[in-house]
Amino acid sequence: MLSTLRALADRYRQVVAFIFVGGIATVLHSGTVVVLVEAALTTPVPAHIAGFFLANVFSYFANSKLTFKQSPSWQRYRKFLAVSLVSLGLTISLSALAEAMGWHYLVGLAMVLASGPALSFVLHKTVTFRRPPPLA
């Protein structure tokens, strides 16, 4: 069983690393949302924006090193931020939808957490951290 798990982890190392980094980023994002909303410091949409930016900086550096094994650079961060802003748009839209529908803010948070990671991985792998093809 353990050897099977290791083989799967080796085969899907990037996905496993992305999930690990994403889990930590999710705790940062979610924790920020919950603290800001429960302390009545803001409403869910601005809380998600703050949580997003905190998680974004962590995610860029951690995914650069752990997931995609590339050195951080400003040029790459601009791509990372652009992809992340697409994800932020999704986050804001889903949070605003939940708020407009009168749903508990945790429903909006659950929708964000259910859709954002898969989209982010695909876009970061194909846009942000895409390696140029080898020279022939």
Give the number of domains in the chain.
1
Question: Which one-letter amino acid corresponds to residue 79?
Answer: K
User: Average pLDDT of the chain?
Assistant: 90
pTM of the model: 0.70
Decide if pLDDT at 10 tops 70.
no
How confident is residue 97, by pLDDT bands cut at 50, 70 and 90? very high
Decide if pLDDT at 108 tops 70.
yes
Assigned domain for 133 exists: no
pLDDT tens track for 115-134: 888 888 989 999 999 887 77
Mean pLDDT, range 101-106, rounded to an integer: 95
Which domain covers residue 81, as residue numbers? 2-128
Assigned domain for 93 exists: yes
Closest to 51 measured CA to CA, from 24, 33, 77, 27: 33
Question: Which one-letter amino acid corresponds to residue 115?
Answer: S
What letter would DSSP give residue 80? H
Q: DSSP string of 43-80?
A: -HHHHHHHHHHHHHHHHHHHIIIIIS-----HHHHHHH
C-alpha 110/C-alpha 81 separation (Å) is: 22
Assigned domain for 66 exists: yes
